[in-house]
Amino acid sequence: DVKVTQSSRYLVKRTGEKVFLECVQDMDHENMFWYRQDPGLGLRLIYFSYDVKMKEKGDIPEGYSVSREKKERFSLILESASTNQTSMYLCASSLTGELAEAFFGQGTRLTVV
Amino acid sequence: DQQVKQNSPSLSVQEGRISILNCDYTNSMFDYFLWYKKYPAEGPTFLISISSIKDKNEDGRFTVFLNKSAKHLSLHIVPSQPGDSAVYFCAASARNAGNMLTFGGGTRLMVKP
């Protein structure tokens, strides 16, 4: 079974803090993604990566950056956390190619106070 | 502008009856469609998918229908069970966009015993 593991289930951070969310997948997938989920808005793509050290902006990259130094690990960084970044963050991975589904981690519920 | 829309935020169905969840899309480049199921405090799990070359795909109690001319797809669950109660997300991808998925806003399904 594919396993995508996010480092924390719940996080509480203060406004202005630098926050790191870590994600590791164990199936040698080329692609990795970070989404955030908010009520009524579904899952919105923040960043994705199709290879080590490669990254592409998604729909809502402002206020975020990412790092992919190793194939299995994809980190999301909130440079200076703000209250509007309170959300559920979901990491996913997939193979490259047609008909490839994405596998998700369990999610990190981040609260910025 | 949302490219994938789920216009019903919630749906309530009696156990044993059919559940029909709907999804509309605007991007004619989308050629692969997926449904994900999400329980609270968990990541989404893949349910069923369909390629644009088909108009129906069936897997046990779950069937997805695709109407390309109307840019509409639907998920049918028959018979519905209380354990099906969850949020269902429709997602779409385009071959020329790698494996990046665009999600709808989700529909909360409640199956009453």
Three-state helix/strand/coil letters over chain A: CCCEEECCCEEEECCCCCEEEEEEECCCCCEEEEEEEECCCEEEEEEEECCCCCCEECCCCCCEEEEEEECCEEEEEECCCCHHHCEEEEEEEECCCCCCCCEECCCEEEEEC
Tokens coding A86: 């309170």
Cross-chain Cβ contact B41/A35 below 8 Å? no
Stretch among A35-49, B13-27, B71-85 having the lowest mean pLDDT: A35-49
Measure CB to CB from residue B89 to each of A43, A58, A101 and give the nearest one. Answer: A43
pLDDT at A2: 64
Mean pLDDT computed over every residue of chain A? 93
Give the residues of chain A that fall short of pLDDT 50.
none
Whether B56 has a pLDDT exceeding 90, the answer reads yes
B16 near B77, Cβ under 8 Å? no
pLDDT at B96: 72
What does the alpha-carbon distance between residue A64 and residue A46 come to, in Å, rounded to a whole number? 8
The CA distance from A24 to the nearest CA of chain B, in Å, is 14
Cross-chain Cβ contact B98/A95 below 8 Å? no
pLDDT at B98: 67
Whether B99 has a pLDDT exceeding 90, the answer reads no
pLDDT at A101: 84
Whether B2 has a pLDDT exceeding 90, the answer reads no
Mean pLDDT computed over every residue of chain B? 94
Cross-chain Cβ contact A42/B6 below 8 Å? yes
pLDDT at A40: 80
pLDDT at B91: 95
